[in-house]
Amino acid sequence: MGNLMGKPTKKGNITDADRAMLDMKTQKRKLVEYNKRLEIAIQLAREKARGLLAEKHRDRALQALKQKKFLEETTSRVDEQITQLLFTIGKIQEAQQSQQLFDVMKQSNLALKEIQSQIKVEEVERLVEDLNEARDHHDYVNQLIAEHQTVEANELAEKELEALEDVLMTERLPTVPSDRPAEPQSLPDVPTTIPTLNPDGAEALRQAAGEGVVRMEEPLPA
Amino acid sequence: MSSQNDFTFPFFYSYPPYFTLQPVKDTRDKQIALWKELILRYCRHHKVFVLDIADDSELFANSTIKRRLDTDARISILEDVVSSGSGLWLREKQRCLILWHNIPKWAEILCDWVKNNALYDEPMTLEEIVNGIESQGTEIHGVHMEILLRAVQHLEKLGRARLFQGTLDGAEGVKFFP
């Protein structure tokens, strides 16, 4: 198939059609040259007739004009032949193109068939079947994994929930000590009323009460 | 011939000594080189493909200074043109084909022309290449048949053209390939 893309005409095969074309072109050239000669002859015949008439040779002048008429008919016939040749040349060129197109299409059709022949329908069916099976298998495995994953995920989620709860618990606990010390701070106010029994020692008792508050505070968390 | 007025002859064309072959070799070599350059330029300008030794054209004879190259001088100069690849004797020491482009260059011009006119694979007569409407206005039009033939033969060696004969007399044809 490599030749298809290459240069098949590189060797330059000369076909009979090429020679025929060449001959027609040569023939056309010869006809054109012939016509040129005829036109010169017509011109000469006209001048000859005029000269003879000037010399009063009426019969011979008529003869020359008859000859001229004949030559003129010939040129128009030759003109027609040239046109005909050009027409045929065009037709051959067109036919050659058509043939080349046909050859290329034929070749590409063969190539297409060859490619197609390498693909057997049963094999394709088997292949599609295999692919379907493989897909089913894959789907089943995926499903299993998905189920396993949901069980596992549930467990994990629960564990995470517990962990989160623990975190929340431990996060809440440290708030407790911060709340309680508020109470002991108000507590020391209480003993101040009791030492009124002994006003002299009130100052000392207040100081002792300050210490006493600390002392009283300590057993509380325990 | 108004185009002849466009052509400017070099300075030496007005100096009588240049119309006589110089006896000293070095001087003569320079003289011949100048003439060679003039011949190629002149022929290209006027599309003169063949120079005839016997022809007293303005190239060989300057009527203004009444000087002309003699036959021996013409032959010596043209022999130099031929030996440098810019000419071919059509008839030894009488008629010389002037190649202002060498044959490979003509082949290249021919190739470009075929390509530009989409004429690949088209059987053509050599005659129609030279005189046909397709070549009008190009350097190919009116080219000397000998040059065309040699250019085609050059392309044939490269596998880019094929010469062939028809069945009629004088039906020499060629096909070009991309």
| pLDDT tens per residue across span B98-108 | 999 999 999 99
CATH code 1.10.10.570 region(s) in chain B:
3-98
State the smallest CA–CA distance between residue B47 and chain A in angstroms: 24
Q: Is the pLDDT of residue A3 over 60?
A: no
Q: Is the pLDDT of residue A119 over 90?
A: no
At A9 the pLDDT is: 45
Q: Which residues pair with B162 in a beta bridge?
A: B175
| Domain locations along chain A | 17-118, 120-175
* B175 close contact with A: CB closer than 8 A: yes
Residues 103-142 of chain B with CB under 8 A from chain A are 121-125, 127-128
Q: How confident is the model at residue A205 (pLDDT cuts 50, 70, 90)?
A: low
State the smallest CA–CA distance between residue B46 and chain A in angstroms: 27
Q: Which residue of A has its CA nearest to B123?
A: A18
Residues of chain B found within 8 Å of residue A14, distances taken between Cβ atoms = 123, 162, 164, 175
Q: Which residue of B has its CA nearest to A8?
A: B177
Q: Do A23 and B171 touch (CB under 8 A)?
A: yes
- Separation of CA A40 from chain center: 68
Name the architecture of domain B103-176.
Answer: Orthogonal Bundle (1.10)
Q: How confident is the model at residue A36 (pLDDT cuts 50, 70, 90)?
A: very high
CATH code 1.10.10.10 region(s) in chain B:
103-176
Among candidates B178, B81, B70, which has minimal Cα distance to B122? B178
Q: What is the DSSP letter of A187?
A: G
At A197 the pLDDT is: 55
Average pLDDT over residues A124-130: 91
Whole-angstrom distance, CA of residue A162 vs CA of residue A151: 17
Residues of chain A found within 8 Å of residue B173, distances taken between Cβ atoms = 18-19, 22, 25
Distances in Å between the Cα of A128 and the Cα atoms of A113, A116, A133, A215, B63 are 22, 17, 9, 87, 96
Residues of chain B found within 8 Å of residue A26, distances taken between Cβ atoms = 125, 127, 166, 168, 170-171
Q: Do A26 and B166 touch (CB under 8 A)?
A: yes
Give the lowest-confidence range in A123-132, A191-200, B3-12: A191-200
Average pLDDT over residues A105-132: 91
Residues of chain B found within 8 Å of residue A19, distances taken between Cβ atoms = 123, 164-167, 173
Could you write out the three-class secondary structure of A55-98? Answer: CCCHHHHHHHHHHHHHHHHHHHHHHHHHHHHHHHHHHHHHHHHH
Query: What is the phi/psi pair of residue B155, to 5°?
Result: -70, -30
Q: Do A22 and B161 touch (CB under 8 A)?
A: no
In a mutational test of the A interface, the residue from B158, B167, B169, B174 whose CB has the highest number of chain A CBs within 10 Å is B167
Q: How confident is the model at residue A175 (pLDDT cuts 50, 70, 90)?
A: low
Half-sphere exposure for A207 (CA within 13 Å, toward CB): 3
Question: Between B125, B161, B177, which is nearest A29 by CB?
Answer: B125
Q: How confident is the model at residue A7 (pLDDT cuts 50, 70, 90)?
A: very low
The ranges of chain B with pLDDT < 70 are 1-5
Buried b (16+ CB within 10 A) or exposed e, A172-204: eeeeeeeeeeeeeeeebeebeeebeeeeeeeee
pLDDT tens, A81-114?
999 999 999 998 899 889 889 999 999 999 999 9
Contacts of B153 (CB under 8 A, 6+ apart): B163
CATH class of B3-98: mainly alpha
CATH class of A17-118: mainly alpha
